């Protein structure tokens, strides 16, 4: 690891990368390997690898108990979980969602012939703005999907009020919010259902997996049928379905991860507090904060870059960090409405999304998790501080370099 004290130390200006190995935003957390391998050997000995095995059943029980919900239905991944929940709720026509989310939120609708209607976000929380919802409702609207972005809960009361007033279903994409709470209640208890992702990049993972949680008995029963082809016993299909089952090996990883959940969160919280301290006096760089009176998983370290102050834009800082092997992510640039097929379907959607358009150009997620050390954080923040305090010079040198490269390519074509 190399410290950076001068601009010439930066890779883009001729220096050596600060880190030999890449630092990732979501490098997987690994729990107790011995316990995991014991579980894997056990399931191999029993030769029960899938189809609602004992590890899946135990995993569902433990997650439901932890969240205080009646039902947890484990799935092969979060996207399929979202698709099945959407279908089980009978959503059709149009469903209102934020554009400031991972593309799977929109695709899970479009894949089933449902039109995602993009609504703007609150300028302070970056979650779906309840005050903007009603103007997006049409006679074809059947539901709302709120996203607890970066684990910071939506305005549950605001969304619920609109949903009830217009008789709309309310589903939450809680991919970022496992282990978090809202006014003392665990995420998972709100709306008609909530969907989690346990992908390897999440702080809590099952290798690959997800779940739908709900307190609605009838909905849970329907989802269980749908994730297993509609089977209600041997040779008895009573409902249309697909294959959304979680495997035993994924559940074994999930149970092992649950045993280390508090440790993972403690490391994330430690990292968050260090980032908070290291970046406190860096002008134009604002760390998004979490309400520490609630349960939080702290799995995303999000900074907002004010180019008017830093002189270096978010994208330029992103380029500089990647050159140093700091693989920061622009979650969720450029917004779903600017990705296909939505940018072709709704070319002017951005006119109704001014806050989304503003925020997607300013935020950057930095590496955290058990693979990131306090010294790693110190060096990353040192790089950011160096770039920002010399912002005018960095910007000029980057622009001069870009012009030189452009001329070089022009000469090559000649």
Domain boundaries, the chain: 7-20+261-328+367-413, 33-259
Q: Of 125, 184, 151, 146, which is closest to residue 356 (Cα–Cα)? A: 125
pLDDT for the residue 160 = 98
Max Cα-Cα span within the chain: 71
The ranges of the chain with pLDDT < 70 are 1, 404-414
pLDDT for the residue 399 = 86
pLDDT for the residue 411 = 52
For 7-20+261-328+367-413, CATH number out of 3.30.70.360, 3.90.1150.10, 2.170.150.20, 3.30.70.1230 equals 3.90.1150.10
Q: Which CATH architecture has domain 33-259?
A: 3-Layer(aba) Sandwich (3.40)
pLDDT for the residue 2 = 81
pLDDT for the residue 3 = 81
pLDDT for the residue 75 = 98
């Amino acid at each position: 690891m190399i410290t950076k004290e001068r601009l010439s130390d930066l890779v883009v200006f001729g220096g050596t990368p600060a880190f030999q190995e890449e630092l990732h935003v979501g490098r997987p957390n690994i729990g107790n390997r011995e316990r995991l391998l014991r579980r894997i050997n056990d399931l191999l000995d029993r030769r029960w690898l899938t189809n609602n095995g004992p590890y899946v059943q135990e995993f569902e029980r433990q997650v439901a108990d932890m969240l205080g919900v009646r039902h947890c239905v484990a799935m092969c991944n979060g996207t399929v979980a979202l698709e099945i929940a959407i279908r089980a709720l009978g959503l059709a026509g149009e469903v209102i969602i934020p554009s400031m989310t991972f593309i799977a939120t929109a695709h899970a609708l479009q894949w089933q012939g449902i039109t995602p209607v993009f609504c703007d976000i609150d300028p302070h929380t970056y979650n779906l703005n309840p005050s903007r919802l009603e103007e997006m409702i049409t006679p074809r609207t059947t539901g709302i999907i709120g996203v607890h972005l970066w684990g910071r809960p939506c305005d549950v009361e605001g969304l619920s009020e609109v949903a009830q007033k217009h008789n709309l279903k309310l589903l939450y994409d809680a991919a970022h919010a496992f282990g978090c709470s809202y006014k003392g209640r665990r995420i998972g208890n709100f709306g008609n259902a909530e969907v989690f992702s346990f992908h390897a990049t999440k702080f809590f993972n099952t290798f690959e997996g997800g779940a739908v949680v709900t307190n609605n008995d009838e909905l849970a029963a329907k989802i269980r049928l749908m994730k297993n082809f509609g089977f209600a016993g041997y040779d008895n299909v009573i409902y249309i379905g697909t294959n959304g089952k979680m495997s035993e090996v994924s559940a074994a990883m999930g149970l092992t991860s649950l045993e280390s959940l508090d440790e993972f969160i403690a490391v994330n919280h430690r990292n968050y507090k260090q980032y908070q301290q290291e970046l406190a006096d860096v002008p134009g760089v604002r760390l998004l904060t979490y309400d520490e009176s609630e349960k939080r998983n702290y799995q995303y370290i999000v900074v907002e870059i004010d180019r008017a102050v830093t002189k270096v834009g978010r994208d330029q800082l992103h380029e500089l960090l990647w050159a140093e092997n700091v693989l920061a992510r622009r979650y969720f640039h450029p917004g779903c409405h600017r990705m296909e097929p939505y940018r072709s379907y709704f070319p002017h959607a951005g006119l109704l999304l001014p806050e989304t358009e503003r925020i997607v150009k300013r935020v950057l997620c930095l590496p955290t998790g058990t693979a990131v050390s306090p010294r790693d954080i110190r060096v990353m923040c040192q790089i950011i501080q160096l770039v920002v305090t010399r912002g005018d010079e960095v910007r000029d040198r980057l622009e001069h370099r870009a012009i030189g490269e452009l001329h070089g390519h022009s000469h090559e074509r000649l």
